[in-house]
Amino acid sequence: MGPLVLNTRPKTDSADLEASLQTRGYRVLSAPMLEIEFPAQTRPFDPTPYQALIFTSANGLRAFARLSQDRYQTALCVGDATARLAADMGFNRIESANGDIHDLAALIRERISPAMGPLFHPAARKTAGDLGEILRDGGYQIDRQTVYTAHASETLPQQILDAIAAHHIDAVLFFSPRTAETFVKLVKSYKLEGELTDTCAICLSPAVQLRTADLTWQRTHVASKPTQEYLLSILDQSFSSV
């Protein structure tokens, strides 16, 4: 029987992840720490003024698909998973930074001239970084529009509480600082912060790991690159060394 892994990603981002985990032989529990809401759009969106579109998450892509049927601009994607979704949605010109927001900023500096026009960035109300601020010195005009909201969970399912209390969970996966922060807050609210000493925290980045520090883990591991593939690789390594 394989290790028991808790997935904390939103439901919208979990299907491929959970399938990959099961293929690798893991047992999977799910407790989404964020619920994604796509508000109704009251006015049509015209992408014509923009030379390219910036997608820092798959949910930004899903939200854009609700705004517009146009797929002719270049899609600048933070990672390969987002780029694959862009291809599935009909984009033909796709660039992937295969990393995080800083890698995406580097890709934009390399491939995009600010003189050719503004960039459109459909994003969440709360984001892990400010791409516009990172690129400000380069003269880029980035029009960021809130197109979805990620609501933090206020409870943990009873099945998850029981598994934590019984020390049955072998690893918890964290893909964003806010997801980790929400999980830590909920665990503390149930007074279970001492029940994860047999559990590993598997984190997408050092920024994510930092948000897990208030809990006592058996070990914490950080992916060498901030992608799902590298996170799953470090998960595999953490159990192969046991």
Q: What is the pLDDT of residue 126?
A: 76
Q: What is the pLDDT of residue 42?
A: 60
From CA 174, how far away is CA 176, in angstroms rounded?
6
Q: In what order do the strands lie in the sheet with 219-222?
A: 27-30, 4-7, 171-174, 200-203, 219-222
* R_g of the chain computed on alpha carbons: 19
If you ran DSSP here, which 8-state letter would residue 48 be given? T
- If phi > 0 it is left, if psi is from -120 to 50 it is alpha, else beta; for residue 73 that is beta
The model carries a pTM of 0.87
Q: What is the pLDDT of residue 221?
A: 97
Q: What is the pLDDT of residue 211?
A: 96
Tens digit of pLDDT at every position of the chain (242 positions): 899 999 999 998 898 899 999 999 999 999 999 999 988 776 778 888 999 999 999 999 999 998 888 999 999 999 998 999 999 999 999 999 998 889 999 999 999 999 999 999 999 887 767 888 888 888 999 999 889 999 999 999 999 999 999 999 999 999 999 999 999 999 999 999 999 999 999 999 999 999 999 999 999 999 998 889 999 999 999 998 65
Cα of 142 vs its chain's centroid, Å: 21
In one-letter notation, the amino acid at residue 189 is S
Q: Domains of the chain, with CATH numbers? A: 4-33+153-240 (3.40.50.10090), 39-151 (3.40.50.10090)
Cα of 185 vs its chain's centroid, Å: 19
